[in-house]
Homo-oligomer: A and B are copies of this chain.
Amino acid sequence: MSTFGTHFRVTTYGESHCLSVGCIVDGCPPGMALTDADIQPQMTRRRPGQSAITTPRDEKDRVEIQSGTEFGITLGTPIGMRVMNENQRKQDYGNQTMDMYPRPSHADWTYLEKYGVKASSGGGRSSARETIGRVAAGAIAEKYLREAYGVEIVAFVTSIGNEFLFPPSPAHPTCATNPEYLKLIETIDRKTVDAFLPARCPNDECSKRMVKLVADYRDRQDSIGGTVTCVVRNCPSGLGEPCFDKLEATLAHAMLSIPATKGFEIGSGFGGCQVPGSVHNDPFIKAPAIPPGAIDHPAVPRPRLTTKTNNSGGIQGGISNGAPIYFTVAFKPPATIGQAQNTATYDEETGVLEAKGRHDPCVVPRAVPIVESMAALVIMDAVLAQQARTAARSLLPPLKGVVPVLGGSKEADGA
């Protein structure tokens, strides 16, 4: 189903060549200031055509709120949003070659297997254009999280091909154990990331190497993949629902639902398998009153403990502990390449496919706002679930006697 989330629920529609794409956001808290202008910036960051290393199509992608607000305030009712499809150049897709061949490693063939019918653009809902609804919804979630908790969500490119911002090393099989990396996680912001356009990798030298690498692949009519790392700061503790909806599980779900993704790792990730428990464990320390850089939201619980290291990536036992949550997502090389490919037709005949159209040699930098948006949707849903629990508990009479019950966070309601 094209629905994501339980409490903050997004339903999207639209493929690349129909009338419009859009979504309905249900469960947005009422009483929040919200206009198109809150949503457009991430839409624009997602838009192709921002540089030489992304596709030159000029999609306007103006979002238009249909419902759910009045006088710029959310009503608590479903928020419909729509973005028109323009500049579709159907002729790129409707040509005879494309009709004959399922494109290798694209969704043309599997969509046909699944639905038994075929859109003229192949696997229509697998198009990057489908992500518009996610980004629109994510911008709303993010606004709430920022206003209510001061949450900051920042993604950036950590590798393209074999160019790494933090290459794995024997000393640090996972960059989680590298203090320099943790420092970056704690301080990076979107403005800095965008200053490194088109690569969105916040390091001058590495960024240049990445741009050159992508240009090389583009010139060879080839493509290349990479990784995006995302951090969520000032996230309240207690998020994540045992046992199937652990916070890292819903984050992984969200990230692997983005087109072209191949992997997800939280905190120390795959490299963490090589680190012994005595190093990997994050010892507890007393938390500073207000974490550095955090806005004080007096009504929001702050954990009394934090961890000295953060190999856990801010999540323990599936539940956020208040430390920065960070994770990395792998993106494969785009499947549509200019090079001729030996493959088979729908009718099982062997032949050579030469793709037309304009396509990204590397989608990684453009994936940055999409990763941020999906992270916002996951955190928002988890926040509402946990707020419900805390609110429910706060109405119960206090427990008496000597049961082993201990208060965790300093809480505004004193419960």
Contact = CB atoms under 8 A, between A and B. Distances in A.
Contacts of A242: 2, 77, 111, 123, 125-126, 130
Interface in A269-315: 269-270, 272-278, 280-286, 297, 299-300, 303-305, 307, 311-313, 315
Given A75-B117, A335-B277, A6 B3 contact: no
A77 B15 contact: yes
Interface in A356-414: 383-397, 399, 403-409
Contact of A405 (B21, B31, B113, B315): B31
Give chain A's interface residue range (CB within 8 Å of chain B): 35 or more
A188 to B, nearest CB: 20
Contacts of A116: 30-31, 76, 390, 393, 405, 407-408, 415
A387 B391 contact: yes
Interface stretch (A51-59, A178-186, A190-198, A224-232): A224-232
Contact of A113 (B299, B319, B342): B319
A305 B391 contact: no
B346 A406 contact: yes
Contacts of A342: 283
Contacts of A207: none
Contact of A109 (B148, B173, B305, B389): B305
25 contacts: A2-B243, A12-B24, A13-B68, A24-B24, A31-B396, A70-B120, A71-B403, A76-B393, A105-B311, A105-B312, A109-B316, A110-B315, A112-B408, A114-B239, A125-B242, A222-B278, A252-B252, A252-B253, A253-B256, A256-B264, A263-B263, A275-B333, A286-B344, A305-B346, A391-B391
A91 B341 CA distance: 64
B107 A316 contact: yes
Contact of A73 (B252, B392, B399): B399
B317 A106 contact: yes
A49 interface: no
Contacts of A189: none
Given A77-B242, A126-B318, A318-B107, A405 B348 contact: no
Given A263-B269, A285-B350, A277 B334 contact: yes
Interface in A62-119: 64-80, 82, 99, 101-102, 104-119
A80 to B, nearest CB: 4
Contact of A282 (B99, B104, B224, B244): B104
A405 B73 contact: yes
A187 interface: no
Given A105-B312, A160-B273, 15 more contacts: A2-B243, A14-B66, A20-B80, A22-B66, A31-B117, A73-B399, A110-B315, A113-B321, A123-B317, A148-B396, A244-B253, A273-B331, A277-B332, A305-B346, A388-B391
A261 interface: yes
A364 to B, nearest CB: 8
B389 A319 contact: no
Interface string A315-333: 1111111100000001111
